[in-house]
């Protein structure tokens, strides 16, 4: 079953669940709209990988907003965004933890032969296809910078 089909089925189930599925329903509707808008913009149906890109983008937007709300001392909005992210993560591949990302970064640095921060682009080019949709780009970027600055 494709991600778009899973989203449709889960949306139907959330509508049946009435109150219990309210947040889930709104998040699923929003992400389906985002997928549809992307399809309209590109004038074609999205592949599974492109749908994953849209989902990852939605998660990233929420994480960025969450940081801002934490700075603004808005715990109510932070909690709401955490719930939305939890719904979205169910549709993404299993997320890599910091240690797994570090292992991939070390491998990519060795493979690319990079030795200074100026060569970060080489490492990221090798690394991003491996972690796409499975790790936060900021985390990957931070670890690469840390290793190349040593």
Residue-wise pLDDT tens digits, 100-146: 888 888 888 888 887 778 888 888 888 888 887 788 788 888 888 88
End-to-end CA gap in the chain: 45
Helix, strand, or coil (residue 134): coil
Distance CA 111, CA 126 (A): 8
Is residue 143 within 8 Å of 98, Cβ to Cβ?
yes
Residue whose token pair is 């991939």: 104
Average pLDDT over residues 60-71: 92
* Domain 98-148 -> CATH class: mainly alpha
pTM (2 decimals)?
0.78
Domain ranges of the chain: 3-89, 98-148
* Domain 3-89 -> CATH class: mainly alpha
Question: Per residue in 70-109, pLDDT tens?
Answer: 999 999 999 999 999 999 999 988 888 888 888 888 888 8
């Amino acid at each position: 079953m494709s991600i778009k089909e899973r989203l449709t089925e889960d949306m139907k189930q959330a509508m049946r669940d009435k109150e219990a599925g309210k947040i889930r329903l709104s998040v699923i509707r929003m992400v389906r709209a985002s997928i549809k808008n992307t399809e309209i913009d590109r004038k074609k149906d999205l592949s599974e990988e492109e749908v994953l890109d849209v989902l990852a983008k939605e998660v990233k937007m929420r994480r960025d907003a969450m940081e801002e709300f934490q700075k603004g001392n808005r715990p109510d909005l932070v909690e709401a965004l955490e719930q939305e992210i939890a719904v979205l993560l169910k549709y993404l591949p299993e997320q890599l933890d910091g240690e797994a990302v570090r292992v991939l970064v070390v491998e990519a640095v060795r493979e690319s032969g990079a030795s200074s921060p100026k060569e970060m682009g080489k490492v990221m080019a090798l690394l991003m296809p491996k972690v796409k949709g499975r790790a936060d780009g900021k985390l990957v970027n931070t670890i690469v910078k840390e290793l190349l600055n040593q």
